[in-house]
Amino acid sequence: MAMVRQSDKLKNVLYDIRGPVLEQAEKMEASGHRILRLNIGNPAPFGFEAPDAVLVDMIKNLPNAQGYSDSRGIYSARTAVVQYYQTRGIMNLDTDDVYLGNGVSEMITMSLQALCNTGDEILVPSPDYPLWTASVALSGGTPVHYLCDENNGWNPDLEDLESKITSRTKGIVVINPNNPTGAVYSRETLTKIVEIAKKHELILFADEIYEKITYDNAEMINLASLTGEDVLCLTYSGLSKAYRVAGYRSGWLAITGPNWKAESYIEGIKLLANMRMCANVPAQHAIQTALGGYQSINDLILPGGRLKAQRDLAYKKLNEIDGVSCQQAAGALYLFPKLDVEKFGIVDDERFALDLLKEQKILLSHGTAFNWGEPDHFRLVTLPAVEMLDTALDRLGEFLSGYRQ
């Protein structure tokens, strides 16, 4: 039999946060090593559990979840999404413009496949959540990265963003709160992005999966609350992070703005939704309960809460390591520290991550995996308990004290 090779469509598709470093970690675990995984924002392994009400409601509805649902999702869950966004100042959303998916990841891929022709450009932040860059490439489009400025709280460099708009540009991706930097964008910044999108007739893709995880009174503003009927806005969110059910794969896409100008595009999204039949039906039944009633995430992010305590400790200890500096995160579950590449002689940040893994059994994600242009950052997940983070960061400091690439 001849060699069977992957499709050329995957030539520019990269997802390095699950690449060679993770593969090495899995080999080490298979050999009996215990690896501390600080590379993926998966709450469950660190003792975060779903609210009881969400579990109970899903279990009670299992007998009614054995067949396919409407390809867009069950009506009660989509209505709950609409009602939630109404409390956030988004009044121009109809239940028929909400699509439920197997996590936000599926909805990102689906909406880009429905839009992009070969060579169409989508502006994606740098650093980014790499699924966006990979999904643009897989759809046949060209990801073009605009800079987020570390010296300005990791806010988008709006001049750089606008300078990269061409006749092929179709849309702008905004990740807020941001993965991997933890930045939460101000109303002023978001308003300016909306103005740029309106000026150039671009779609806005608002990835807001961490919208309920903010700290120190940071104000989370849903982008669609600023776009009105002027700009087509696709908003992505779900239950995986705030409700600690990443494995349930329960997310959604909400489309607002001048939908009448995008009937063909929306029909394409509907076609792809029909082709996959429907999203995971049992998890759809968790949405209405999750979005209504008491929000237990507040117990974790407010003073005294576990997520806030872990973030605070990680920020403090990282900045105490000689050769490491870090901006504080205002939201999400990550920090994106900077390494002094001259001090450590780093020319390959993936090699740095591999060296740390082999010596200290700690798994981090290297910064260039997030489409950051220099080998001088890494992403740290702040989900482990304070005691575990404290030990891990001591070991990181010990490793760096003698490290030279």
pLDDT at 194: 98
Distance CA 232, CA 266 (A): 11
In tens digits, the chain (405 residues) has pLDDT values of 888 888 877 777 777 666 788 899 999 999 999 999 898 889 988 888 888 888 999 899 999 889 999 999 999 999 999 999 999 999 999 999 999 999 999 999 999 999 999 999 999 999 999 999 999 999 999 999 999 999 999 999 999 999 999 999 999 999 999 999 999 999 999 999 999 999 999 999 999 999 999 999 999 999 999 999 999 999 999 999 999 988 899 999 999 999 999 999 999 999 999 999 999 999 999 999 999 888 888 888 988 899 999 999 999 999 999 999 999 999 999 999 999 999 999 999 999 999 999 999 999 999 999 999 999 999 999 999 999 999 999 999 999 999 988
pLDDT at 50: 87
> What is the pTM assigned to this prediction?
0.94
What is residue 16's predicted lDDT score, i.e. its pLDDT? Answer: 63
Q: Quote the pLDDT of residue 17.
A: 64
Distance from the first to the final alpha carbon of the chain: 43
Q: Read off the amino acid at residue 72.
A: R
Q: In whole angstroms, what separates CA 217 from the centre of its chain?
A: 21
